[in-house]
């Protein structure tokens, strides 16, 4: 680089590219690894696009800078437009996303200024391109021992004695991750299943999952849904779900403290049988616990420990491919 603007642009690009590489690799190993319907390459699209734009800018600062300005402004317009379409756009969110979106245009402008300086540049500037792949490699080395060799799912019901008591988890079927197209039902859809018209659909609150929830309409065997409330099955509490988390196909020795964002575990839990299906997209399970402002609690397969996710709450009407469910009943 020949100018201060060029050095600043390179440093900012390097930081952004490394962060996107870290995010893409981390998200892939946390939620996409081993799931056939999740295309692994999709997690790396932002990092790859930024890497290519950086390569262009390092080789031809003026053209690369112009490209980054166009992409940055276009990405900002798309991002803010998508938020506005969902009624989520406000000044706070706009400012919160600006470092990710508008910052690209700023970096592009700095590289354009670098491009105005005449003369050859050192080939050493291309060493910066090695940083994002190195980040991906480091994340892979960190995650692979954890995600490899997971115990497979068990389709039958699972009976287990946990720190939260004796529990039976529903078998494969409507009591465990019933799908609505590409996604799982939202907490609100699960909670209002038994309200007329009976079925999974958006219905206004208030909600009473114990009386109207999908789990309450499972037959005693947990294999089919009925028209009348049975009341044998229900959604688990955070404490029950945390106590049932597994590692190596066995209980991970987890306990939950009320209000905590992570469980206290003897071993870091994993996404594996008999509690989880490692080939399914769900990495969180809804719980019966509610939070203020129309939100509900969920628990990740990690228990909120170091490999990703946390025990938290989100809008109850948000159905997506990552938040699944599994009905449970207490054993006497």
Q: Within this chain, do residues 128 and 175 fall inside the same structural domain, yes or no?
A: no
Model confidence at 221: pLDDT above 80: yes
Contacts of 84 (CB under 8 A, 6+ apart): none
Which range among 158-162, 206-210, 292-296 has the greatest average pLDDT?
A: 158-162
Model confidence at 207: pLDDT above 80: yes
Q: Are 265 and 246 in contact (CB under 8 A)?
A: no
Q: Within this chain, do residues 71 and 163 fall inside the same structural domain, yes or no?
A: no
pLDDT in tens, 83-127: 787 776 777 777 766 666 778 888 888 888 888 887 777 888 899
pLDDT in tens, 242-275: 999 999 999 999 999 999 999 999 999 999 999 9
Q: Within this chain, do residues 115 and 258 fall inside the same structural domain, yes or no?
A: no
Averaged pLDDT, 42-51: 94
Q: Within this chain, do residues 132 and 185 fall inside the same structural domain, yes or no?
A: no
The residue from 101, 127, 147 where one domain ends is 147
Confidence bin at 329 (pLDDT 50/70/90): very high
Q: Within this chain, do residues 178 and 135 fall inside the same structural domain, yes or no?
A: no
Q: Within this chain, do residues 177 and 131 fall inside the same structural domain, yes or no?
A: no
Q: Within this chain, do residues 88 and 121 fall inside the same structural domain, yes or no?
A: yes
Q: Within this chain, do residues 134 and 174 fall inside the same structural domain, yes or no?
A: no
Q: Within this chain, do residues 178 and 309 fall inside the same structural domain, yes or no?
A: yes
Q: Within this chain, do residues 18 and 72 fall inside the same structural domain, yes or no?
A: yes
pTM of the model: 0.88
Confidence bin at 151 (pLDDT 50/70/90): very high
Question: In whole numbers, what is the pLDDT of the chain averaged over residues?
Answer: 92
Query: What is the SS3 string spanning the chain?
Result: CCCHHHHHHHHHHHHHHHHHHHHHHHHHHHHHCCCCCCCHHHHHHHHHHHHHHHHHHHHCHHHHHHHHHHHHHHHHHHHHHHHHHCCCCCHHHHHHHCCCCHHHHHHHHHHHHHHCCCCCCCHHHHHHHHHHHHHHHHHHHHHHHHHCCCCCCCCCCEEEEECCEEEEECCCECCECCCECCECCCHHHHHCCCCCCCCCCCCCCCCCHHHHCHHHHECCCCCCECCCCCCCCECCCHHHHHHCCEECCEECCEECCCCCCCCEECCCCECCCCCCCCCCCCCEEEEEEEECCCEEEEEECCCCCCCCCCCEEEECCCCCCCEECECEEECC
Q: Are 193 and 217 in contact (CB under 8 A)?
A: yes
Domain that holds residue 43: 4-147
The residue from 132, 147, 162 where one domain ends is 147
% of the chain surpassing 70 pLDDT: 97
Model confidence at 146: pLDDT above 80: yes
The residue from 127, 147, 167 where one domain ends is 147
The domain total for the chain is: 2
Q: Within this chain, do residues 161 and 79 fall inside the same structural domain, yes or no?
A: no
Q: Within this chain, do residues 55 and 156 fall inside the same structural domain, yes or no?
A: no
Residue 283, both tokens: 């990495």
Lowest-pLDDT choice from 13-17, 46-50, 103-107: 103-107
């Amino acid at each position: 680089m020949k100018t201060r603007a060029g050095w600043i642009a390179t440093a900012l690009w390097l930081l952004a590219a490394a962060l996107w590489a870290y995010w893409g690799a981390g998200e892939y190993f946390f939620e996409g690894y081993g799931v056939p319907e999740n295309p692994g390459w999709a997690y790396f699209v932002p990092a790859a696009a930024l890497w290519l734009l950086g390569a262009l800018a390092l080789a031809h600062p003026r053209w690369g800078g112009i490209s980054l300005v166009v992409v940055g402004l276009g990405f900002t317009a798309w991002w803010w437009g998508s938020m506005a379409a969902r009624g989520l756009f406000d000044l706070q969110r706009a400012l919160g996303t600006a470092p990710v979106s508008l910052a690209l245009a700023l970096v592009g402008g700095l590289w354009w200024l670098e491009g105005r300086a005449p003369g050859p540049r050192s080939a050493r500037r291309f060493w910066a391109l090695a940083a994002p792949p190195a980040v991906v490699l480091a994340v892979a080395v960190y995650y692979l021992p954890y995600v490899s060799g997971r115990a497979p799912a068990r389709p039958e019901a699972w009976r287990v004695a946990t720190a939260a008591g004796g529990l039976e988890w529903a078998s494969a079927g409507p009591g465990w991750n019933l799908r609505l197209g590409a996604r799982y039902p939202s907490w609100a859809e699960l909670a209002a299943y038994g309200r007329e018209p009976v079925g999974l659909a958006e219905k206004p609150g208030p909600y009473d999952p114990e009386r109207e929830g999908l789990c309450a309409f499972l037959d005693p065997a947990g294999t089919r849904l009925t028209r009348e409330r049975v009341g044998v099955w229900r959604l688990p509490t955070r404490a029950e779900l945390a106590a049932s988390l597994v590692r190596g196909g066995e209980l991970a020795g987890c306990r939950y403290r009320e209000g905590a964002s992570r469980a206290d575990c003897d071993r870091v839990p994993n996404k594996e049988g008999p509690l989880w299906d490692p080939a399914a997209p769900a990495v969180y399970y809804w719980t019966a616990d509610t939070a203020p402002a129309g939100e509900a609690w969920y628990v990740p397969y990690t228990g909120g420990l170091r490999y990703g996710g946390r025990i938290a709450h989100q809008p109850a009407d948000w159905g997506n491919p990552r938040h699944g469910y599994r009905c449970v009943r207490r054993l006497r």
